[in-house]
Structure 1
Amino acid sequence: MAEQDDMPFYQKPEWADVVPIPQDDGPNPLVPIAYTKEYSTTMDYFRAMCRAQEKSERALDLTKIVIELSPSHYTVWYYRQQLLKELNKDLKEELEWIEWMVNEHPKSYQIWHHRQVVVGRIAQSLLPHNTTTTTTTLTTAQSTEAAFSFDDLPEAQKTAAQELVKSELEFIAESLEDDTKNYHAWSYRQWVLAHFGLGPWWVEELAYTEELIGKDVRNNSAWNQRYFVVTNGPGGLTEEGVQREVQFAKSNIEKTPSNESPWVYLTGVLRKGNHSVTEIKEFCEGLLSVPRANFSPFVHATLLDIYEVEAKEKRSAASVEKAKEEAIMLAEKVDNIRSKYWNWRKTQLQKIDVVA
């Protein structure tokens, strides 16, 4: 029995009826790919499965063999998804295998997408019969259509949805511990949050981002995730939310004034909440008295923006002069690698119509 387990699948009796289809590279391939014999033979059998459109257990086993040899082979992933549906396989077991694959290949987009497909099918099974799906207008790298309105689900389905979301978020968090900036993991996390509707997990996600930022204030992925949560969660970005997030960003800027992430977050929240950047003028000017902040290009760049806005709104010559000083500071001292840009910004200030 052990000997047969070690035997290549295509040498086993149950595969004797399959005629493998070799890859056709034409009569004189210019630069043929040097596949291993194992991979080449396996793909020959997979082509035979595809041509016959065979939907069987052995075809499903074959997709697993191919994927473990080449995790980025999207055609095989798609065929596997068809087989899982046709054979009515236990999707919870599929999730266990995907978890193993993610641990082996955390940066493979195809693996994360496959998990999204599988979890999406599990989510669909939670819907009561004849329920019309709803959608959200969220935009991420992956589709963020909500499978249902969480509040409209029966209690049993609500519990099941919460358990599934909790399980997926914990799984993603474990993966992010190894690489906090895994783009595919973060994209999938946003999909999970959105796909299951506006449930209680959004509040927990805000706390999760705060925890990550507390551990590493320079984790730009966590800042990006926080912005996603506050702008797309239940109720959107309210006035109360703007004030809370502005204070959150300020407190982190004070810790690391030369860290770009909280500056981008701060100005992004203000813009999204229809607030003017001039509202943080006093905060930014106060940082100039802090030696390490005075050499932060982000402090001076934000002040340049603030003074420029003031100059345009109030037609203030004094604000133009302050903006010029910031442009010169940036070009000559704190960010001279981009001196041409800051000098250009200075020339644009001359075009502002001011009151003499």
Structure 2
Amino acid sequence: MSSDEDIPFHKQPKWADIVPIPQDDGPNPLVPIAYTKEYSTSMNYFRAICRSQEQSERAFELTTIVINLSPSHYTVWHYRQTLLKALNKDMTQELEWVQEMIDEHPKSYQIWHHRQVVVDHMSASAFPAATVSTTPSNLHTVPMIPYLELSESQQKAAQEAVQTELNCIAQALVEEPKNYHAWSYRQWVLSHFGLGPWWEEELGYIDELIAVDVRNNSAWNQRYFVVTLGPKGLTDEVLEREVQYAKTKIERTPNNESPWVYLTGVLRKASHPLSEIKAFCEGLLQKPNANFSPFVHSTLLDIYEQEAKQERRADSLLKAKEEAIILAEKVDTIRERYWNWRKNQLKAIAVEA
């Protein structure tokens, strides 16, 4: 005897009262999409459910069916989120299902956003009223859990929740280290649960990723996020540590753009002049593997230009022009027109004779 699971959902008795609503593409659709019959049928029933705003177990089951057929259907995800709360569904069980979806579709933004919605709902129930602050990951005003004000048991629960989420994300990043949606969610997790120990621990995780692939620009971006927006802030001590860290990586791979962007980025963020790395950059010119790095020469161009403007130094202006010529004619010829433009811009700088 067949069970209901073996029968298409729309042929089961519990769906007999629903009148499906077909998709209306107008009388003469120019380029109709060739949906599968299974998907078209499921969506016809979903439209009927949406029209009546039904909140039931069968409606919840239907969202599962449609999402399995189209994991990026944001309307269905939103409806599912409404049903989760209206039906008081088991959020832990929902997370387990979401994990399965992430394993199959790790680059779907809708899946990661749904996980965020579920975790946010669970944390709101588990912890006291959150303080309202700006989450650095998306610059939106959202609740952030006051971790430092929690009891010891609550802090332990928060740490376990964060670790669960970070493990989930790390698993996805093994397959695709530059998964933008996974990284974005990781930043939300770090921020949402407040000023816990995971901020400092995150640097260890980033170190591991960069050790495996020093060109992992996503890991470098995450390091910048943690260092500049974490609870410690970009103090002079932290800045010195990060400058030395970037220098070490640059010496290994001077043609790798990521640590150069990071190095100049943290200096600018801390309002320190690029001239602080002038000796380092000039020293790299003596190394064969670095002398033809466009990033060495472009950074020196920026440094010399800055000196010429601020100190009105003629020698710095001359060096800046030389760097622009080297970039245009030798080490970065594909951007020749840009570097020539930069060279022409230098003519407007007034220097002392």
Same fold (TM over 0.5): yes
What's 2:305 paired with?
Answer: 308
More displaced stretch, 152-161 vs 301-310: 152-161
3-state secondary structure, aligned to 1:40: helix
Q: Which amino acid counterpart does residue 244 of structure 2 have in structure 1?
A: Q
3-state secondary structure, aligned to 1:136: strand
Query: Contact 1:136–1:144 (CA<8 Å) still a contact in 2?
Result: yes
Query: Contact 2:135–2:192 (CA<8 Å) still a contact in 1?
Result: no
What's 1:87 paired with?
Answer: 87
Query: Contact 1:143–1:191 (CA<8 Å) still a contact in 2?
Result: no
Quote the Cα distance in structure 1 between the aligned partners of 2:330 and 2:279.
22
Q: Which runs of 4+ in 1 moved over 6 A?
A: none
Quote the Cα distance in structure 2 between the aligned partners of 1:231 and 1:54.
46
What's 2:159 paired with?
Answer: 162
Render the CA deviation track for 1:258-308: whole Å, top value 9, x for unaligned: 000000000000001111000001100000110010000000001111111
Alignment of 1:141-156 (within 5 A): 141=138, 143=140, 145-156=142-153
Q: Which amino acid counterpart does residue 182 of structure 1 have in structure 2?
A: N
User: Is 1:318 matched with 2:304?
Assistant: no
TM-score (norm 1): 0.96
Query: Contact 1:22–1:44 (CA<8 Å) still a contact in 2?
Result: yes
Quote the Cα distance in structure 2 between the aligned partners of 1:89 and 1:138.
27
3-state secondary structure, aligned to 1:112: helix
What's 2:277 paired with?
Answer: 280
User: Is 1:241 matched with 2:238?
Assistant: yes
Query: Contact 1:66–1:76 (CA<8 Å) still a contact in 2?
Result: yes
Query: Contact 1:253–1:263 (CA<8 Å) still a contact in 2?
Result: yes
What's 2:294 paired with?
Answer: 297
Query: CA RMSD, aligned part only?
Result: 1.4
Q: Which amino acid counterpart does residue 154 of structure 2 have in structure 1?
A: Q
What's 1:328 paired with?
Answer: 325
Q: Which amino acid counterpart does residue 317 of structure 1 have in structure 2?
A: A
Quote the Cα distance in structure 2 between the aligned partners of 1:59 and 1:147.
32
Query: Contact 2:95–2:115 (CA<8 Å) still a contact in 1?
Result: yes
How big is the shift at 1:34?
A: 1.5
Alignment length, in residue pairs?
353
Aligned partner (choices 207, 226, 230) of residue 229 of structure 1: 226
More displaced stretch, 47-56 vs 167-176: 47-56
Query: Contact 1:55–1:86 (CA<8 Å) still a contact in 2?
Result: yes
3-state secondary structure, aligned to 1:137: strand
How big is the shift at 1:36?
A: 1.1
Aligned partner (choices 210, 214, 229) of residue 211 of structure 2: 214
Query: Contact 1:287–1:293 (CA<8 Å) still a contact in 2?
Result: yes
Quote the Cα distance in structure 1 between the aligned partners of 2:93 and 2:86.
16
Alignment of 1:1-356 (within 5 A): 1-2=1-2, 4-128=4-128, 131=129, 133-141=130-138, 143=140, 145-356=142-353
How big is the shift at 1:38?
A: 0.8
Quote the Cα distance in structure 1 between the aligned partners of 2:29 and 2:344.
58
TM-score (norm 2): 0.97
Structure 2: gaps spanning 5 or more residues: none
Quote the Cα distance in structure 2 between the aligned partners of 1:284 and 1:166.
40
Identity percentage of aligned residues: 68
Structure 1: gaps spanning 5 or more residues: none
How big is the shift at 1:241?
A: 0.7
3-state secondary structure, aligned to 2:196: coil
